[in-house]
Amino acid sequence: MTQNSDRASQAIELLGQQKLELSDRDREEIIERIRPTALIIHETIRVEGESELCRPVSALAWSGLAAGLSMGFSLVAQGVLQANLPQQSWSSIIVSLGYSIGFVIVVMGRQQLFTENTLTVILPLLNDRRRKVFMRVLRLWGIVLASNLLGAFIFASIVAQVGVFPPEFQKAFGEIGLRVIDGGFWITLLRAIFAGWLIALMVWLLPAAESSQLWVIVIITSLVGLGEFPHIIAGSVEVFYAVAIKAVSWSEYFGKFMIPTLIGNILGGVTLVAALNHAQVAQDDL
C-alpha cells in the first residue's frame, strides 16, 4: 500500500500549497479514495497465484470438479431464457446474461477455473522463471483443466439423459451446443483469444472492484457470451450436451472446438493480459 500512500501524500501536499486546511479524517479519506496502482493489483494476484501453486492435488481437483459442474448453470440459464423469450433482435442480449451465471458461481465461490489461471499462476512464473515454478504451473493447469472438463461432462450428461428439463428447454440446449462449433478451426481459435483475453481481464479487474465485483463478472462474461467467443469450460458443457444427444461427434468436439479453443484461451490470457500487465509493472520498477 506504500504507493497509494505516497500518491495520497503528494496530493495532500498539493492541496496544502493551495492553502486548503485538511483534517486527519480528510487525509484518511483521500488515501482510501485513491485507486490501487497496477503494482498493487499485480502483487495481489501474484500472491494469490503463489498460494494456488502450493495447494495439494486433491484440493485442486475437487475445486476444479466443482467449477466444471457449476459452469453447467450457464447452459441451463441460457437455454431457459432462450426457450422463454420471443425471437426478437434483442433476445440474444438477455440470453447472454444467462451465460454469466456459471461464472458468478465459480468466481464468487472461489472454485478453480482453468481460464482464470492463465493470469493468476502466470504472474508468479513471470516473476520467478525457474523450471520448478514452470512445472508447478503445468501441474496446476493439468489438474484444473482435467477436473473442469470432467465436471462439465458429468453435468451435460445428466441434463441430456435424465430428462430433468422439459423438451423445449432441451431443444434450446441442443441449439446452443450446435452453435458453439459453427466455425472453422482458425476462426474458433481467433475468437477464443478474445474469450481468454476478457476472462483474464476480469480477474485483473476484480482486486480493484471491491463491492462491484459481481457487476464486473456479469458484464465481462456476458460480453463473452454475446460475442460468442468460445470458452473452453463453458463451451465444453454446451458441446458435451450436443455429444450426449448424438448431434455432435467426439471428433468434432476435439477438432472443431476443444483444441482451437484451448489454444486461443491460453494465448489470450497469457500474452494479452498476464505478460502485458507484468511488463508495465516491471517497467515501473526500473
N residues, the chain: 286
pTM: 0.88
Contact by Cβ (8 Å): 229, 198: yes
Residue 19: predicted pLDDT: 52
Mean pLDDT of the chain: 90
CA distances from 174 to 78, 141, 195, 255, 259 (A): 11, 29, 22, 19, 21
Closest CA to 196 of 83, 84, 137, 275: 275
pLDDT tens for residues 177-217? 999 998 889 999 999 999 999 999 999 999 988 889 999 99
pLDDT at 165 over 80: yes
Share of the chain above pLDDT 90, in %: 77
pLDDT tens for residues 9-35? 555 555 555 555 667 676 666 666 677
pLDDT at 1 over 50: no
Residue 37: predicted pLDDT: 82
Cα 13 to Cα 16: distance, rounded to the nearest angstrom: 5
